Structure 1
Amino acid sequence: MQAIAIDDEPLALQVIQQYAHRIDWLQIEAVFTDALEAKEYLKENSVDLIFLDIQMPEINGMQFFKNLEVKPEVVFTTAYSQYAVEGFNLNAVDYLVKPFEYERFLQASEKVRELIGFRQIKEIDEGFLLVKYNYQWQKIAYKNIDYIEALDDYIKINVFPRPFLIHMSMKVVAEKLPAEKFIRVHRSYIVSLEKVTGWNKNTISIKEKIIPISYTYQKQVQEILKTLMDESI
């Protein structure tokens, strides 16, 4: 789970980083004492969670969150408990009153993890991939995806009539996709099994696109495609 932390007090950010370092599934990607710098960062980077202070010199944390075009999950951190109701009115997952201990930080982080996990299950049940595109949430139906290609720090989700370029790793998108519908055939490619039109040992075809099958995935790909062929006979 990827997160950032925003607080005008460097010591508070240091505490969050130390606590997060003890949680193997939580990664603090960046910390900011300047909320405006954080806003610029979020224009180019996608995160799951923001640990956000409320009382900051240039902007109130709640106002900062309201103004975000794409809103990750948020856990407010503050020394002032009177903001709790307003925080939850903004759909904050949790509200940490400073100074907070590691156990309380862990509890808040686990709430976010469970919420994201629930949404991922819902995506699978309803048959769509939920991604952030152009600063808003976008639903992409599994049935419309031909293949996914890695491009440096981005992935290209190839769907008709136009592809989506998303700031996400292949590892993350692979975890979101149902294994019975998609298969990784190369470090740079994931394909939709129902869109496969032909294959041999080294390549797989989807419409006019020829996609390489790397040696690492050859055996697995051949076994899965053979099984699908046998089931269709």
Structure 2
Amino acid sequence: MSPIRCLLVDDEELALDVLEIYIDRLEGFEVAGRCTDTFEANYFLQENNVDLVFLDIQMPKINGMEWIKSQKNPPKVIFCTAFDRFAVESYEVNAVDYLLKPISFERFEKAVLKAAEIINLERDKIASDKDEFITVRSERKLYKIAVDEIIYIHSLSNYYKIVTPDKRIVVYGSLSALENKLPSSQFIRIHRSYLVAMKRIEAVSNTSVLISGKELPVGRKYKSSIETLYPQKND
């Protein structure tokens, strides 16, 4: 998969330097450009495509908040600012995150991985419905996983685990977000914590599903879906 292209917009060169250093430490991202004001950013976007903008707010001429609101089709944005008073307003432009300076690498990385999940989801939606693979990020690496190989996915609080015959990949994100990436004709939710490949199901009961030799629970909320697909006749 092509790297996520980032535009850095801040009127302080030192702040731009810090962002560029942080991005260079992560795989799957690249700095497409650096701008010191929003007018320069406008010119850049006219000639270049970017996926993600790191945007300061307090800048000369037009501030970052006003600028992003003026964009007809804005890229995803992560605000990087020394002021917290714009945090609520950032929700109006669907900002991915709102980082307060000075920004630690750990906090920066968390925001960027969140952005990567959103951007990759959108990329997958744009791709053909016949696409046989999904991409996920785990431990700073991008994994390309064949949909046909997935046995089940197990939600683990803010993470989920994708189980295939030869892999166990733990990914930061929500099970619901991943569910939207997968074809509904091939996967079924059996529990708030489990999404399974229907072709892998070996047996069902009122309380569980046997899949590749492992028994997984069926949640009360999802029993009707299981019963519709696998009606159980009473003798």
The alignment's TM-score, normalised by the length of structure 2, stands at 0.60
Cα separation, 2, equivalents of 1:193 and 1:109: 36
1:107 matched to 2:73 = yes
Offset of 1:49 from its aligned partner?
9.6
Task: Tell me how large the CA RMSD over aligned residues is.
Answer: 3.9
Q: Which amino acid aligns with 1:107?
A: N
The answer to whether structure 1 residue 159 and structure 2 residue 164 are counterparts is yes
Q: Give unpaired runs (5+ residues) of structure 1.
A: 1-47, 227-233
Separation in structure 2 between the aligned mates of residue 52 and residue 175 of structure 1, nearest angstrom: 30
Q: Deviations over 1:18-64 (max 9, x none)?
A: xxxxxxxxxxxxxxxxxxxxxxxxxxxxxx99784344425524565
Deviation for aligned residue 1:143: 0.8
Residues 95-145 of structure 1: CA deviation (Å, up to 9, x unaligned): 789423453256304799898534324274211121112213211111110
Deviation, 1:66, is 4.5
Query: 2:133: which partner in 1?
Result: 128
Q: 2:122 aligns with which of 110, 117, 120?
A: 117
Query: TM-score, structure 1 length as denominator?
Result: 0.61
SS of the aligned residue for 1:69 comes to coil
Equivalent position SS for 2:74 = helix
> 1:140 aligns to what SS in structure 2?
strand
Q: Which amino acid aligns with 2:199?
A: E
List alignment gaps of at least 5 residues for structure 2. Answer: 56-60, 78-114
Report the equivalent of 1:71.
29
* One-letter amino acid of the counterpart of residue 155, structure 1: Y
SS of residue matched to 2:69: helix
Runs of 4+ residues over 6 Å off in structure 1: 48-51, 72-77, 83-90, 94-97, 110-115
- The 3 A distance-change label for structure 1 pair 157 and 115 is closer
- Cα pair distance change 1:170/1:59, threshold 3 Å: same
TM-superposed deviation, 1:73: 10
Q: Measure, in 1, the Cα distance between the counterparts of 2:198 and 2:177.
A: 19
Cα distance in 2 for partners of 1:126, 1:134 equals 24
Percent pairwise identity: 20
